[in-house]
Amino acid sequence: MGVNKDSNGFTFGFAIAMVVVVGVVLAITAMGLKPFQQENVQQEKMQNILAAINVNVSRNEAKTQFYDFIVERVALNYQGEVIEEKDGDIITLDDGQEAFESDPFNVDVKKEYRGLPAEDRSYPMYICEKDDERFYVIPLVGKGLWGPIWGFVSLYGDGETIYGANFDHKSETPGLGAEISLPSFEEKFEERSIFDKSGEFASVRVVKAGKAGDDPHKVDGITGGTITSVGVDEMLKRTLQIYIPYFENNKKS
């Protein structure tokens, strides 16, 4: 070949061509696959919400089951006042619209947690009916050791006792912090009360493994996963207290 492989021109040309080719290929794949990926993410969210009310379904069935159990989707503001209510099919988010206005389901709590001060976030909640009983599912998001952790916790109709919980994480250590997503950890939250005896909000504390005993306000953390356990503790306390006024108003009316 007549081209000098070591010339500056060839080197630059090659680099530019490579970047363009790789960029185009990756962009096309990402665009083309996006609808499929979003569908998966939505199904998983529904699956996790259902798991919080102890309905365990596969991801494919999640969508039909979701509409069977979840009767209403609401969004609250920082004061715990309802700012949006929706039922029926989920409405897709349009450009330029606030997520909670289109549908509380579209609120990405992870994104708002990262980017907005607490007062400006919207706080979605899913009202479910199962066996003629009412449950409230609240999304949580917080920090683990290596990355975000999140989950859903469901409360009984009185807004005081936890009915079920579901946690997940991005990159916690397998065998240690990652254990928060196991049923053995999630089940510990069932029937725990978030109010203490005097009626004050106390959340459910995640304490050192083996220290919780029968205390209705404590659960055992994970041995060797202290920072992740503290993260779960923090996100429960911070998030649940936002919703307390809503339940108090509910009781009054």
Partner 1 sequence: MAETVDQDIEKKESEPLLSKKNRKLLTDPLDDDNPITVQVLGICSALAITVQVQQAVIMALSVVFVMIGGNLLVSLMRNVIPNRIRIIVQLVIVAALVILVDQILKAFVYDISKALSVFVGLIISNCIIMGRLEAFALGNKPWPSFLDAIGNAAGYGWILIAVAVVRELFGSGSFSLPGLGQVTLIPEAFYNFGYMNNNMMILPPMALVTVGVIIWIQRARNTKLVEEN
User: What residue ranges bind partner 1 (CB under 8 A)?
Assistant: 5-6, 10-11, 14-15, 18-19, 22, 25-26, 29-30, 33, 36-37, 40, 44, 59, 170-171, 173-176, 223-224
**Shortest distance, CB of residue 39 to partner 1, whole angstroms?**
9
Q: Give 104 or 144: the residue with its C-beta nearer to partner 1.
A: 144
Cβ(228)–Cβ(144) below 8 Å: yes
Q: Give 42 or 239: the residue with its C-beta nearer to partner 1.
A: 42
10 Å Cβ neighbour count for 116? Answer: 11
**Shortest distance, CB of residue 224 to partner 1, whole angstroms?**
6
Q: Give 84 or 172: the residue with its C-beta nearer to partner 1.
A: 172
Cβ(47)–Cβ(57) below 8 Å: yes
Q: How far apart are the first and last CA of the chain?
A: 85
Compute the Cα dihedral for 20, 22, 23, 27 and give only its sign: positive
Q: Is 193 helix (H, G, I), strand (E, B) or coil?
A: strand
**Shortest distance, CB of residue 73 to partner 1, whole angstroms?**
23
* Among 151, 120, 116, residue whose Cα is nearest residue 137: 151
Q: Give 30 or 116: the residue with its C-beta nearer to partner 1.
A: 30
Cα–Cα distance for residue pair 225/70, rounded to 1 Å: 33
**Shortest distance, CB of residue 126 to partner 1, whole angstroms?**
22
The helix (run of H) or strand (run of E) holding residue 124 is: strand 123-130
Q: Is 76 helix (H, G, I), strand (E, B) or coil?
A: strand
**Shortest distance, CB of residue 9 to partner 1, whole angstroms?**
10
Q: Give 6 or 200: the residue with its C-beta nearer to partner 1.
A: 6
